[in-house]
């Protein structure tokens, strides 16, 4: 599904006139249905690695070979159109924080990926409703705007989007960090179901017990204090 080779991301800090290494020399392989847990202290580069895999950032070295229905694609070198295509069909990403569009009700935000996939509106909204309630979102919030939601409520909307239309590779950045125990339990059940469906996952989890038994391998990142003079 995914083969990552000697991946590296450095940031150039203009204000300080130097570079920081977010992570370096990262290599791993992931098959369908496998779960890779990213570990390491704050600032070790876990979120940066996920953002590079999603191509929010372009890596400064290395390759990201993604197996697609149309052959392998190196996301490290892919152009803008290929990246958008990969995000639409192959790679999903649960951010740490949802940044919702203003004036769009929660139900609509959650149902969006199903609407894009061409599902009839009625059915898409019904499925989004069911999942949001399963994750413990209060019913009176379904029609409210997520811009006014708490951190945990936003995270539920975010996860509903991902779970409603699972893509073959899923990137998870602390998706349960601000959830209550009931919601964490629902997320655990969903992650197990995704794994059984063959979804490959790379994730950072604040509560390791949320992924106990799910993890096939883990990768530990360390804080890099190597600085290069610019």
For the segment 28-47, give every residue that binds Mg ion (CB under 5 A): 46-47
Q: Which is nearest to 173 in space by CA: 160, 185, 155?
A: 155
CB of 48 to ligand ATP, least distance (A): 3
CB of 4 to Mg ion, least distance (A): 18
CA distances from 105 to 109, 117, 156 (A): 6, 19, 13
Q: Please answer whether residues 182 and 158 qualify as being in contact, where contact means their C-beta atoms are separated by less than 8 angstroms.
A: no
Q: Is 211 helix (H, G, I), strand (E, B) or coil?
A: helix
Q: 44 vs 132, which CB is nearer to ligand ATP?
A: 44
The alpha carbons of the chain give a radius of gyration, in whole angstroms, of 18
DSSP-assigned beta bridge partners for residue 4: 28, 64
Q: In which order are the strands placed within the sheet that holds 35-39?
A: 91-94, 169-173, 200-204, 35-39, 217-220
The item of Mg ion, ligand ATP, none sharing an interface with residue 45, based on CB under 5 to 8 Å by kind, is: ligand ATP
Q: 67 vs 158, which CB is nearer to ligand ATP?
A: 158
Q: Which residues bind ligand ATP (CB under 6 A)?
A: 11, 13, 20, 22, 40, 42-48
The item of ligand ATP, Mg ion, none sharing an interface with residue 33, based on CB under 5 to 8 Å by kind, is: none
Q: 8 vs 134, which CB is nearer to Mg ion?
A: 8
CB of 167 to ligand ATP, least distance (A): 22
For residue 215, give the DSSP letter. -
CB of 22 to ligand ATP, least distance (A): 4
The item of ligand ATP, Mg ion, none sharing an interface with residue 70, based on CB under 5 to 8 Å by kind, is: none
Structure tokens at 64: 């990201």
The span from the CA of 29 to the CA of 192, in Å, is: 20
Q: 112 vs 173, which CB is nearer to ligand ATP?
A: 173
DSSP-assigned beta bridge partners for residue 7: 26
Q: 58 vs 121, which CB is nearer to ligand ATP?
A: 58
The item of ligand ATP, Mg ion, none sharing an interface with residue 4, based on CB under 5 to 8 Å by kind, is: none
Q: List interacting residues with Mg ion (CB under 5 A).
A: 46-47
């Amino acid at each position: 599904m995914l083969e990552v080779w000697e991946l590296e991301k450095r940031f150039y800090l203009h204000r300080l006139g130097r570079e920081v290494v977010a992570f370096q020399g990262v290599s791993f392989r992931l098959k369908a249905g496998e779960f890779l847990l990213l570990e390491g202290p704050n600032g070790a580069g876990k979120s940066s690695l996920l953002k590079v895999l999603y191509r929010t950032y372009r890596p400064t070295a290395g390759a990201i070979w993604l197996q697609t229905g149309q052959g392998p694609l190196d996301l490290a070198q892919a152009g803008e159109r290929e990246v958008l295509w990969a995000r639409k069909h192959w790679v999903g990403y649960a951010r740490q924080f949802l940044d919702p569009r203003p004036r769009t009700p929660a139900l609509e935000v959650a149902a969006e990926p199903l609407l894009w996939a061409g599902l009839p509106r009625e059915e898409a909204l019904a499925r989004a409703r069911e999942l949001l309630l399963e994750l413990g979102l209060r019913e009176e919030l379904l029609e409210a705007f997520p811009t006014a939601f708490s951190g945990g409520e936003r995270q539920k909307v975010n996860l509903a989007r991902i779970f409603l239309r699972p893509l073959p590779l899923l990137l998870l950045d602390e998706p349960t960090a601000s959830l209550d125990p009931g919601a964490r339990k629902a997320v655990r059940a969903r992650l197990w179901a995704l794994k059984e469906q063959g979804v490959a996952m790379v994730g950072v989890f604040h509560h390791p017990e949320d992924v106990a038994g799910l993890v096939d391998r883990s990768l530990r990142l360390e804080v890099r204090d190597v600085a290069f003079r610019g």
